[in-house]
Chains A and B, each alone.
Chain A
Amino acid sequence: AQRVTQPEKLLSVFKGAPVELKCNYSYSGSPELFWYVQYSRQRLQLLLRHISRESIKGFTADLNKGETSFHLKKPFAQEEDSAMYYCALSGHRTGANNLFFGTGTRLTVIP
């Protein structure tokens, strides 16, 4: 069965410090990985997906198939990055259009 693990429920960093939100997955096959973000009083929205290989708001995430990880990184955290972050997986076994979410990490950037 598929599994998405986000080991940190809460993460606090100081402004300007590097931040890494961890995501590990378990899936037999080739999944598609995503990061979704929920800012305070806003809707959940897509931050980035591994197939696009983009940097969004300074965040990057690389799919490491050997370690089955998709960690989200940003070199210099900003206060506006404070939010709830969800790692998600999609693949043939989840139903091609279904996303399977991790439990989320709440990031707080301390001024």
Chain B
Amino acid sequence: DAGITQSPRYKITETGRQVTLMCHQTWSHSYMFWYRQDLGHGLRLIYYSAAADITDKGEVPDGYVVSRSKTENFPLTLESATRSQTSVYFCATRGAGELFFGEGSRLTVL
């Protein structure tokens, strides 16, 4: 009962390529989030979603696109990856006032 799963866990890509990070939850939580984790910056919110078909920008949305056609899935797409997007990406849901995180996706852009 993983609850929230991310894939892939590790990804290496090249500048300019499109990359999609997947996030799936089994709880039917309304809110889902994407954060990136970088040394010196901590966790920064990229995008979030309040429900299916409702998404909104966070602190650092530039260069990213999200969608939420189903409650359980919240994919994050880098349309044209840049080196500055090398990071660890965390998906999260919120339930009972608490955030539940996935295991993270480590993305390297060469």
Which B41-95 residues sit within 8 Å CB-CB of chain A? 41-45, 48, 50, 56, 58-59, 90, 92, 94
Contacts of B58 in A (CB 8 A): 98
- Report B105 CB to chain A, min CB distance, Å: 12
**Number of B residues contacting the other chain (C-beta, 8 Å)?**
24
Contacts of A102 in B (CB 8 A): 42
**Number of A residues contacting the other chain (C-beta, 8 Å)?**
20
- Report A87 CB to chain B, min CB distance, Å: 9
The verdict on A44 contacting chain B, using a C-beta distance below 8 Å, is yes
- Report A53 CB to chain B, min CB distance, Å: 14
Q: Is B33 a contact of A101 with CB atoms below 8 Å?
A: no
Bound together, the chains give a CA A9 to CA B42 distance in angstroms of 10
Which chain A residue has the least Cβ–Cβ distance from B33?
A98
- Report A63 CB to chain B, min CB distance, Å: 15
The verdict on A99 contacting chain B, using a C-beta distance below 8 Å, is yes
Q: Is A44 a contact of B42 with CB atoms below 8 Å?
A: no
The verdict on B110 contacting chain A, using a C-beta distance below 8 Å, is no
Residue of A9, A86, A98, A102 with most partner-chain B CB within 10 A: A98
Which chain B residue has the least Cβ–Cβ distance from A97?
B31
Q: Is A46 a contact of B99 with CB atoms below 8 Å?
A: yes
Q: Is B43 a contact of A97 with CB atoms below 8 Å?
A: no
Q: Is A101 a contact of B42 with CB atoms below 8 Å?
A: yes
The verdict on A36 contacting chain B, using a C-beta distance below 8 Å, is yes
Bound together, the chains give a CA A104 to CA B37 distance in angstroms of 10
Q: Is B43 a contact of A101 with CB atoms below 8 Å?
A: yes
Select which of B35, B41, B92, B102 is within 8 A of A103 by beta carbon.
Answer: B41
Q: Is B101 a contact of A44 with CB atoms below 8 Å?
A: yes
Bound together, the chains give a CA A55 to CA B26 distance in angstroms of 29
A97/B41 contact (C-beta < 8 A), A43-B101, A43-B102, A44-B101 known: no
- Report B8 CB to chain A, min CB distance, Å: 16
A46/B42 contact (C-beta < 8 A), A97-B50, A98-B48, A98-B58 known: no
